[in-house]
Chain A
């Protein structure tokens, strides 16, 4: 124990003397966080929804590169050979090196978290679950680091091997690029990489359901961690002259690979490969394209992902159609027929139904039989119960009410709340129940043709949903998209 402590202490001291190690260990995660924050500062994408990814990247960097670089460079220069001349068992030195790394990862994680809080992130929902999830993630990736150290004959090989695991995990493993934005094959591939479970577990602790939402992930992470530890220990070389190719017992590598395959296979078998509902909040902003700031002139086509097409059918266009944020429609005592009454089938048939898929990031919509988890369900039920008494949805003219109701679906989507998949379904059902089908189709079509008309409602906190997108254009765009989605169902273009 004395030896573990002594070696742990010296490992940490040496680490803090190594400028490069500090750079990678601490500056890198901080830069990542700040870059993310700067890139998305116009879009109200709270850091809270991305802490899982940011923490995972920090751990991945420290474990995939930092740990094996230390181990391999010490082995190369003969430090391990020297240790080998003393009675200290190999596991003592390996364990204390791993413990030192754990300390570094935890401090880097806390630094990242602290900085995020300083930048205005709200407190994580489940701090204890977050600590537990973080330890599991660190454990899994330290195991991976040991395997890399065992495979690499020298430091450049560590870099190469590390990149071979790091980059795929970042890009198609669900760590840096949202799973929902990936093609289906990549979603299947991601199930075989532990990075995805790391993000899921951390995110569930940060703003999801906590422990109930991360059981499978913790299992997957411990399995990959244990397998990495076993393979890393069995393949451990203390002699820098010994090449991996010349090593006996290379088959132990299969343990590590086997664990990844097993986790992926179980995930496939249990059908949790398609983006699970509780992962939704973990999705990053659509694309690293800065959204137009609210004060900018509103060229609609520059909205983040799906440009709103300029109204094609000029039918029933009103002078207010292209005026952004007009004053509330004046009450016209003499005009009996509101403008949407003149909409015909020709108008809704002329709309562009090419909209983002229901399971995507932008304007998601749960399938009719999809059940939210309990935490989300509670919120959804609350909104459903309040809708019939929600003033903007019942008072005033029908068109304004329908438009306001669309915002109930659009606002959570714009700020990526966990309920975003389910509220559109609630709103759709409420609309169906409240208006004659024909009228509903006309009003939705009118809204789709005049997306900039009427005031934007960015705040639905009266319904129990806290938060505001702060970006009227974004909310208008999403409301437009939901109008199209509802119309697709009403016109039978999409069957359910």
Chain B
């Protein structure tokens, strides 16, 4: 029997003033997993996460976190989790040491401020007011605050958005260290590479629904035989040109560039170039490569777009 999942979400729905932001989401996260919620802006990642951590009341659905019914006992859940939100900030004049000491007083159990300062590389900035910290340092402080109560589970909402490349790399290292230490983490991102690099498992979310779940490797493997083709033409092509071609997975048209996947690139390209010659369309650029998670992501999230 597998251990109790740290997170179990069933049929989660949430609408803002009648407009659905999340419409029926299910997933589970096993202990020790780094789980990525991957999706474009506005997909409903933040809404999902904020429902889980008790900031928003879901319209419907079951939420179980660390074995506790999160809708019934939100306070119990808050004792066990740590959270970094996309948009919060502390008082300008508070120092990292003070913030960590303050937040420690809010929980039943806590880690000493000094330990967290060391672990998140803030020792030198321990007594500097937050207003004088860099973006990366602030983000590390936010992360340290999420760990103040020795959480069983950590939620990170787009933790790397808005950081410079150096800070982003540092944060990646921290998350990888969390994985090594056996922490369970749910984080959201719209960066594919990030998900691919850090996550044990990802759920791809689009317009309030999960469109694929699995380990990044498995998701890519499912389309391993496929190849990704990008073609730029003059004049631009419409999707109708590709309708007649066999063995194509979703076609993405972006201006004069078209992207699609195929199991047999040679045959598809032969048929396509023949057609283009007939229509006197000039090929400006053509690339063929093995499909990546990005292709899958784009294919899944652009599906059904007008």
Binding site for B on A (CB under 8 A): 2-3, 5-7, 10, 13-14, 17-18, 74, 77-79, 81-89, 239
Nearest residue, chain A, Cβ from B87: A78
Tell me the bound Cα distance from A5 to B108 in angstroms. 15
- What is the total number of residues of chain B having a CB less than 8 Å from a CB of chain A? 28
Q: Which of A5, A17, A77, A85 contacts B53 (CB 8 A)?
A: A85
Q: Which 6 A-B pairs have the closest CB atoms?
A: A6-B105, A78-B88, A88-B106, A87-B78, A86-B106, A82-B88
Nearest residue, chain A, Cβ from B105: A6
Cβ proximity bits B53-66 to A, threshold 8 Å, 1 near / 0 not: 11100000000000
Does B89 count as interface, using CB distance less than 8 angstroms?
yes
Does B75 count as interface, using CB distance less than 8 angstroms?
yes
Given contacts A78-B85, A81-B87, A86-B78, 9 further A-B contacts (CB under 8 A): A6-B102, A13-B98, A17-B93, A79-B89, A81-B85, A82-B89, A83-B106, A86-B149, A87-B76
Tell me the bound Cα distance from A78 to B102 in angstroms. 16
Residues of A within 8 A of B76 (CB): 87
Whether B55 pairs with A85 at a CB distance below 8 angstroms is: yes
User: Which residues 61-89 of B sit at the A interface, judged by CB distance below 8 A?
Assistant: 75-76, 78-79, 83, 85, 87-89
Q: Please judge, given known A-B contacts A85-B55, A87-B106, whether A77 and B89 are in contact too, CB under 8 Å.
A: yes
Does B103 count as interface, using CB distance less than 8 angstroms?
yes
Tell me the bound Cα distance from A87 to B104 in angstroms. 11
Cβ proximity bits B40-59 to A, threshold 8 Å, 1 near / 0 not: 00000000000001110000
Whether B107 pairs with A86 at a CB distance below 8 angstroms is: yes
Residues of B within 8 A of A81 (CB): 55, 85, 87-88
Q: Which of B55, B89, B94, B149 contacts A84 (CB 8 A)?
A: B55
Residues of A within 8 A of B93 (CB): 14, 17-18
Whether A82 pairs with B98 at a CB distance below 8 angstroms is: no
Binding site for A on B (CB under 8 A): 53-55, 75-76, 78-79, 83, 85, 87-91, 93-94, 98, 101-108, 129, 145, 149
Nearest residue, chain B, Cβ from A77: B89
Looking at chain B's contact residues, the main secondary structure is: loop
Q: Please judge, given known A-B contacts A10-B98, A81-B55, A81-B85, whether A87 and B107 are in contact too, CB under 8 Å.
A: yes
Tell me the bound Cα distance from A6 to B102 in angstroms. 6
Whether B102 pairs with A7 at a CB distance below 8 angstroms is: yes
In the complex, how many angstroms separate the beta carbon of A99 from the nearest chain B beta carbon?
15
In the complex, how many angstroms separate the beta carbon of B293 from the nearest chain A beta carbon?
30
Tell me the bound Cα distance from A83 to B99 in angstroms. 11
Whether A79 pairs with B88 at a CB distance below 8 angstroms is: yes
Most A CB within 10 A of own CB, among B53, B76, B102, B104: B102
Nearest residue, chain B, Cβ from A13: B98
Q: Please judge, given known A-B contacts A2-B105, A10-B102, A13-B98, whether A85 and B91 are in contact too, CB under 8 Å.
A: no
Tell me the bound Cα distance from A82 to B84 in angstroms. 9
Most B CB within 10 A of own CB, among A7, A74, A87: A87
